[in-house]
Structure 1
């Protein structure tokens, strides 16, 4: 795929776990010749710099190892709360890229549509330079298969897939409310080309 022109400085690629964000982000970054920031790396950095007492939500999964056994709806609530706690760090990263006029693709489960819809970040006006797309895979069986392919030694992660499907539905609904594009993950053979076509259309995303 040839190098694409872009009208954005920051591209947010969101969606629930197992939908293919990481798999898409690298060829996407190569096409637009920009670097990638993975939100999971930011989470690790913030965790290393803080304590559970200082940032209880950002340490929640480590301090509550049995949380995976909670009802799906409760896990989704916690996932959303963790994402909201991370927003100041993400706002700072986005603001820095806007201030320095440095393009970047940011991808991760903890990107929220409300963040993508903001007009300013860390004092920097977005001015249309921040765009977002949320990847959506609502089918639990497909997510189970995705996890099996990606992490064959972990067994059948059905509960995790159920959480991902529910969280993904919530993200898609919130994205639609904010007018942010939601891209269905399948058919996978065309996902990258559909995403690029969406981004190459001015004023969308």
Structure 2
């Protein structure tokens, strides 16, 4: 019995700045006829209802202007951790569609600067890029490049940890290059894992 490819309801796409994460996420959503939830939108909503005294991690403009790469990476990851309950609340409230007498979940791709592998239920994709290419993609900014590489390293570490602790969830590492088939490579890996997990019951 073949399971329909992409029939899991949600994929979390993680990646450091300069990896092409957003472009990849929208292309993946299009592949599965789905939509994108961007954690940046969740962040803006939470900021509008909060202030720095309640959630200082979500208001880090000074660190972003004056910090080291290590401080910037740590601040981004702390903000993602603080934002996680709000992102999860959005994830669990994704709409259901009634099609052919059955409820179906349209495919959702969760992504953004604050998407962590630990958000994933079935699949997390960690999009990776070389330091040289991130440097080019970010306009030759050394500090941002170093920050992105630290974040990428931590996302991969957290992805491996999440996979060990949640055997039902797969974490797929996808090199961004060659770009032309990055989405197809990710889709193929996820479909094969999903099929092998479910096809035989």
Mark yes or no: TM-score above 0.5: yes
Is 1:114 aligned with 2:118?
Answer: yes
Q: How many residues align?
A: 179
- Check conservation: 1:136, 1:169, Cα contact below 8 A: no
Give the match's secondary structure for 1:178.
Answer: helix
1:154-169 correspondence runs (5 A): 156-169=140-153
1:111-142 Cα offsets, whole Å, 9 max, x none, are 122232xxxxxxxxx5xxx32111112x3221
- Check conservation: 1:19, 1:185, Cα contact below 8 A: yes
1:1-205 correspondence runs (5 A): 5-61=5-61, 64=62, 67-97=64-94, 101-116=105-120, 130-137=122-129, 139-148=130-139, 156-179=140-163, 180-203=171-194
Give the match's secondary structure for 2:177.
Answer: coil
- Check conservation: 2:16, 2:113, Cα contact below 8 A: yes
Q: CA deviation at 1:184?
A: 1.4
- Check conservation: 2:12, 2:117, Cα contact below 8 A: no
CA distance in 1, matches of 2:175, 2:69: 22
Q: TM-score, structure 2 length as denominator?
A: 0.80
CA distance in 2, matches of 1:86, 1:7: 27
CA distance in 1, matches of 2:22, 2:51: 28
Q: CA deviation at 1:146?
A: 1.1
Q: TM-score, structure 1 length as denominator?
A: 0.78
Give the match's secondary structure for 2:110.
Answer: strand
- Check conservation: 2:172, 2:186, Cα contact below 8 A: no
CA distance in 2, matches of 1:70, 1:59: 14
